[in-house]
DNA sequence: TTACACAGAGCTGTATACAATTTCAAGCGA
DNA sequence: TCGCTTGAAATTGTATACAGCTCTGTGTAA
């Protein structure tokens, strides 16, 4: 694994968790030393992150953390609706029965963890994984790529949201899988839309609280 | 404008037009000289293009042109359906009446060009612009960003398709705007889906012919 | 003839150097 | 006090150097 890939993953995780404060300028030399490399591979990684929407770039001024506005979060959730609703529609046409059965098993498999003492990171991870499994059933790598990106960029907010809720409510997920298993694209799409919309409303409320913690916490940098 | 941005635009246009052959390895030194810069800013631009799906990267081997498979093209069109159907749904809720009127005017404005002797590039450009205008009415910059990316990556195929058809058939576009203007999200979404699906079928046929020309033509590199 | 080993050329991955630009703070004047 | 100027320090943008890896073609042996 090359330095660029390693640095990319590391900085991406930092950006996803807003360890850079919104709109904060990124000092290349400092960050390069922090991740243990030189500016050249770091800048290559930063350029990827610009293309993926994690950072912004202004000529002559360098790289900046993306800003965190409620409107921007809304946009991410709406984009998720676009991707996931079409994804589940395709999945309901293309998935093998055995794959849907496996999905249902996964839900039952992780249910004890819901009720256990898993931390918010773990809960978000399980939730993302469920949605990813559905997208994969659409057999469309573009939709999957888009969802991976949207997940990473909204993870911070979802984590905050999960902290408040303390649990995943599995009812939505079960209803989605049920619609999928009876091959009802319209119902599956509608369930998915409602599900994500609900989460969006929660997240929107959560993000307002998020501001405070962002500007207080002193990250590793 | 920095060298990275300039190089990025230049190489992006080359990649979009498949001036690199599918799966072809990109020689950094040669390309750097060709675009008049050194390897450092070139590689930064190439990394952005990897993140956007124009190129691939294998460690120790460098950058490669994306491959051109019918399945990959299908995926792009399906992703367009996801983005544009949700986009027009939001647009039908959010657009001002005056904006929809402007959209209709645009269609009438470009109609003479359809019938004129515009080249295929021009026709594709006008078609892309129409779809972009709709997405912008959704007021969601994420959806817009996604569409811009998908457009660029499928432009090559659409150009080939347009060459065969020699014209845009404005009926689809008119029907879409009509559904939008009466604020009927379901109808607008369905029109859009049908429209893109039709284009997808044509493109799929066109892409098979495209292979030959790709491997015959000697690009600038 | 085919498979493998090897050497050389060529290319990529990373670090570093340096020029150009921006930032920031101190100084100055209104 | 506020705004502007100015200059040094810091930071970014680009080129280049070089180490290490990959690829290719030749030679050799089975």
Distance measured from the CA of protein residue B25 to the C1' of nucleotide D29, in angstroms? 34
State the average pLDDT for chain B: 91
- What's the CATH number for B70-208? 1.20.120.530
β-bridge partners, A65: A55
Measure the CA angle with vertex B79, ends B76 and B85; round to 5°: 135
User: Taking CA atoms, what residue in B is nearest to A135?
Assistant: B79
Model pLDDT for residues A152-203, shown as the tens digit of each residue = 999 999 998 888 876 777 889 999 999 999 999 999 999 999 999 999 999 8
One digit per residue, pLDDT tens: chain A, 221 residues?
777 899 999 999 999 999 999 999 999 999 999 999 999 999 999 999 999 999 999 999 999 999 988 899 999 999 999 999 999 999 999 999 999 999 999 999 988 887 777 888 999 999 999 999 999 999 999 999 999 999 999 999 999 888 887 677 788 999 999 999 999 999 999 999 999 999 999 988 887 776 666 555 444 44
- CA distances to A162, B16, B18, B164, B207 from B216, rounded to whole Å, are 55, 17, 12, 19, 15
Q: Which nucleotides of D are covered by protein (CB under 7 A)?
A: 11-17, 21-23
Is the predicted pLDDT of residue B167 greater than 60, yes or no? yes
Is the predicted pLDDT of residue B156 greater than 60, yes or no? yes
Is the predicted pLDDT of residue B219 greater than 50, yes or no? no
Contact A78 B60 (CB under 8 A): no
A44: chain B residues, CB-CB within 8 Å: 43-44, 47
pLDDT band at residue B163 using 50, 70 and 90 as cut-offs: confident
Contact B142 A78 (CB under 8 A): yes
Q: Please state which CATH class domain A3-65 belongs to.
A: mainly alpha
- Return the domain boundaries, chain B: 3-65, 70-208
Contact A78 B4 (CB under 8 A): no
Q: Is B63 helix (H, G, I), strand (E, B) or coil?
A: strand
Output DSSP code: residue B20.
S
User: Taking CA atoms, what residue in B is nearest to A144?
Assistant: B79
pLDDT band at residue B211 using 50, 70 and 90 as cut-offs: low
Can you give the pLDDT at residue A211?
A: 64
Can you give the pLDDT at residue A220?
A: 41
The average pLDDT across B116-133 equals 91
β-pair type (B55-58, A55-58): unpaired
Is the predicted pLDDT of residue B113 greater than 70, yes or no? yes
Cβ atoms B126, A126 nearer than 8 A: no
The average pLDDT across B91-120 equals 91
Can you give the pLDDT at residue B181?
A: 96
pLDDT band at residue B220 using 50, 70 and 90 as cut-offs: very low
Can you give the pLDDT at residue B198?
A: 94
Can you give the pLDDT at residue B214?
A: 58
Contact A48 B50 (CB under 8 A): yes
User: Can you read off the two tokens belonging to residue A98?
Assistant: 């055995």
Cβ atoms B78, A143 nearer than 8 A: yes
CATH 1.20.120.530 fits A70-216, yes or no: yes
pLDDT band at residue B217 using 50, 70 and 90 as cut-offs: very low
What 3 state SS string does chain A have?
Answer: CCHHHHHHHHHHHHHHCCCCCCCCECCHHHHHHHHCCCHHHHHHHHHHHHHCCCEEEECCCEEEECCCCHHHHHHHHHHHHHHHHHHHHHHHHHCCHHHHHHHHHHHHHHHHHHHCCCCHHHHHHHHHHHHHHHHHHCCCHHHHHHHHHHHHHHHHHHHHHHHHHCCCCHHHHHHHHHHHHCCCHHHHHHHHHHHHHHHHHHHHHHHHHHHHHHHHCCCCC
Can you give the pLDDT at residue A169?
A: 75
Find the chain A residues whose C-beta atoms sit closer than 8 A to any C-beta of B: 1-2, 4-5, 40, 43-45, 47-53, 59-60, 75-76, 78-79, 81-83, 85-87, 90, 138, 140-143, 145-146, 150
User: Can you read off the two tokens belonging to residue A18?
Assistant: 């807003």
Can you give the pLDDT at residue A170?
A: 82
Distance measured from the CA of protein residue A26 to the C1' of nucleotide C21, in angstroms? 17
Can you give the pLDDT at residue A204?
A: 87
Dist. CA B128–CA B121, nearest whole Å? 11
B76: chain A residues, CB-CB within 8 Å: 142
Cβ atoms B135, B145 nearer than 8 A: no
HSE, CB side, 13 Å, CA atoms: give it for residue B38: 2
Higher pLDDT, B1 or A19: A19
Percentage of chain A surpassing pLDDT 90? Answer: 76
């Amino acid at each position: 694994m090359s330095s660029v890939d390693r640095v990319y993953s590391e900085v991406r995780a930092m950006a996803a968790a807003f360890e850079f404060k919104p709109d904060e300028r990124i000092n290349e030399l400092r960050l390069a030393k922090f991740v243990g490399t030189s500016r050249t591979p770091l800048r290559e990684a930063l350029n990827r992150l610009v293309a993926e929407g994690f950072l912004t770039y202004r000529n002559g001024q360098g790289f900046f953390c993306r800003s965190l506005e409620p409107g921007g979060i809304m946009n991410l959730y709406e984009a998720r609706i676009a991707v996931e609703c079409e994804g589940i529609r395709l999945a309901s046409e293309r998935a093998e029965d055995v794959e849907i059965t496996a999905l249902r098993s996964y839900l039952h498999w992780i249910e004890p963890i819901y009720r256990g003492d898993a931390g918010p990171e773990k809960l978000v991870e399980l939730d993302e994984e469920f949605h990813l499994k559905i997208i994969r059933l659409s057999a469309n790598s573009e939709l999957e790529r888009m969802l991976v990106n949207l997940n990473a960029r909204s993870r911070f907010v979802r984590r905050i949201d999960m902290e408040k809720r303390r649990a995943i409510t599995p009812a939505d997920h079960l209803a989605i899988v049920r619609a999928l298993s009876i091959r009802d694209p319209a119902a599956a799409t509608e369930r998915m839309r409602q599900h994500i919309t609900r989460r969006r409303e929660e997240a929107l409320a959560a993000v307002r609280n998020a501001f405070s913690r962002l500007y207080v916490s002193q990250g590793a940098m």
